[in-house]
């Protein structure tokens, strides 16, 4: 007759558990075994059949795998959102990934090989930034918020920074431009109204204590209708007439015209410089298509001031960022960004190519191929969409199916629209079709 005496001891389970302790450590494995044994004890007292040693070890192994599985994991993005903020924003090009991997050992991050002395990390990117944008100089920090903070702190601390009320924006994660301006020590001077700001509003706000005029691109929302904004070229002319500096935060950092692909025109760094901005700040991991970074380009004398400021060290980019960004910028310098940078490859994909891929998926796993829409995402081009074709597996419970896909290994991120589960090929990277289709085949319980 089975009794609690039949429960195997921890020592016996540990001896029979093979490589479990070697993989997870002795103490952690013992804790897991004690946990499953106690669960088995309670279940037996409730009338459940007692598991054998092999079953208990299997349960402990599953528990340890769940506890030690990293929370930062690669996923398959089938949502159709190209720059998915929650999924790491822009995927890196193959060259950028290789460059990051190569930095796993020692490097010339701050070492000048020719004289054999200490060098500066800024030199690795500056020439590339100058070549790609036409700026006098450039530098890289860890993200665009840092770029704005550094520029305001170095150039306007204790002095006035003039900005339109319509540009006091908040982006994802409750990041607010007014908060950054306050942290910089600049005195924020708001002009105009939420929907209309005129050149005379800026002119009347200028005093002897004014240092900069700030323009911030409303990257993740639109104000339409009765609106007015001052063109940057006019703003720059006014600022320079009074000896002021123009800081232009363009957000997404487009170096290629998005209007070429049927989208609205996103501000481009080259255009801001041509219009007279003294410093232009933008992200590296959005439309640029690189790793998280904040990029500052513009006047050489101002860039030098920023490099020398104490805050620059606190917000500097690390070697992995610099390597990935350098490889990404090389695509633009060589002119192959549309083919090599995943963000631009996805944006430029024609609908017929997407339909063909979706139909191959449907032939493999069943389902319907339907017209749908992709979005750029990442706080870029709000309201704009790109035509696409998506696979819609035939499931009765689309939300449950989407949840099951997220539990797959690797997780698959789909979307549900109009009560249908949709898998958009635009954002599924090359080489991911096989694991994606395997995950879809496993959706039988949701049909």
Contact call for residues 133 and 297 (beta carbons, < 8 A): yes
Tell me how far apart the alpha carbons of residues 282 and 138 are, in angstroms, rounded to a whole number: 12
For the chain, residues with pLDDT lower than 70 are 1-3, 172-174, 219-221, 444-447
Return the pLDDT at 11. Answer: 86
Give the model confidence (pLDDT) of 116-145 as tens digits.
999 999 999 999 999 999 999 999 999 999
Instruction: Name the CATH topology of 94-338.
Output: 3.40.640
Give the model confidence (pLDDT) of 161-185 as tens digits.
999 999 888 776 667 888 888 899 9
pTM: 0.91
226 HSE (CA, 13 A, CB side): 2
The architecture that CATH gives domain 76-85+344-446 is: Alpha-Beta Complex (3.90)
Q: Is 125 helix (H, G, I), strand (E, B) or coil?
A: helix
Domain boundaries, the chain: 4-68, 76-85+344-446, 94-338
Tell me how far apart the alpha carbons of residues 428 and 374 are, in angstroms, rounded to a whole number: 12
Cα dist from 336 to 89, 127, 196, 345, whole Å: 21, 18, 40, 10
User: Could you tell me which residues are beta bridge partners of residue 249?
Assistant: 216, 281
Tell me how far apart the alpha carbons of residues 330 and 317 are, in angstroms, rounded to a whole number: 18
Angle formed at CA 285 by CA 281 and CA 290, multiple of 5 degrees: 110
CA nearest 215: which of 241, 177, 257, 259?
Answer: 177
* Mean pLDDT (the chain, rounded): 93
């Amino acid at each position: 007759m089975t009794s609690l005496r039949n429960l195997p001891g921890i020592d016996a389970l540990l001896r029979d558990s093979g490589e479990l302790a070697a993989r997870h450590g002795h103490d952690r494995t013992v804790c897991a075994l004690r946990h499953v044994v106690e669960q088995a004890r309670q279940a037996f007292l409730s009338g459940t059949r007692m598991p054998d040693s092999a079953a208990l070890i299997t349960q402990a192994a599953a528990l340890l795998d769940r506890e030690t599985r990293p929370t930062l994991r690669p996923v398959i993005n089938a949502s159709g959102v190209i720059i998915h903020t929650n999924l790491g924003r822009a995927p890196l090009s193959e060259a950028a990934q290789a460059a990051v991997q190569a930095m796993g050992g020692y490097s010339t991050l701050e070492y000048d090989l020719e004289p054999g002395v200490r060098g500066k990390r800024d030199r690795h990117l500056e020439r590339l930034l100058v070549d790609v944008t036409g700026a006098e100089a450039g530098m890289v920090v860890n993200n665009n918020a840092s770029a704005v903070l550094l520029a305001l702190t170095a150039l306007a601390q204790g002095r006035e920074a003039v900005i339109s009320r319509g540009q006091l924006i908040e982006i994802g994660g409750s990041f607010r431009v007014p908060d950054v301006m306050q942290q910089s020590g600049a005195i924020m001077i708001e002009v105009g109204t939420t929907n209309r700001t005129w050149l005379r509003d800026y002119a009347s706000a200028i005093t002897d204590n004014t240092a900069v005029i700030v323009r911030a691109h409303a990257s993740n929302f639109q104000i339409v209708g009765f609106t007015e904004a001052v063109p940057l070229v006019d703003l720059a002319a006014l600022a320079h007439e009074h000896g002021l500096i123009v800081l232009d935060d363009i957000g997404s950092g487009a170096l290629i015209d998005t209007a070429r692909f049927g989208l609205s025109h996103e501000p481009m760094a080259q255009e801001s410089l041509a219009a007279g901005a003294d410093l232009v700040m933008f992200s590296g991991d959005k439309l640029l298509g690189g790793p998280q970074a904040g990029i500052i380009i513009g006047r050489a004398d101002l860039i030098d001031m920023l490099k020398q400021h104490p805050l620059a060290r606190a917000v500097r980019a690390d070697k992995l960022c610099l390597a990935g960004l350098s490889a990404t910028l090389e695509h633009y310098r060589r002119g192959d960004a549309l083919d090599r940078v995943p963000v631009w490859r996805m944006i430029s994909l024609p609908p017929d190519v997407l339909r063909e891929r979706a139909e191959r998926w449907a032939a493999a796993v069943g389902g319907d191929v339907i017209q749908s829409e992709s979005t750029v995402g990442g706080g870029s081009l709000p309201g704009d969409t790109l035509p696409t074709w998506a696979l819609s597996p035939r499931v009765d419970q689309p939300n449950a199916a989407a949840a099951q896909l997220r539990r797959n290994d690797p997780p698959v991120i789909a979307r549900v629209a109009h009560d249908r589960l949709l898998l958009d090929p635009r954002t599924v990277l090359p080489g991911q079709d096989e694991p994606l289709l395997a995950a879809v085949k496993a959706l039988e319980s949701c049909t």
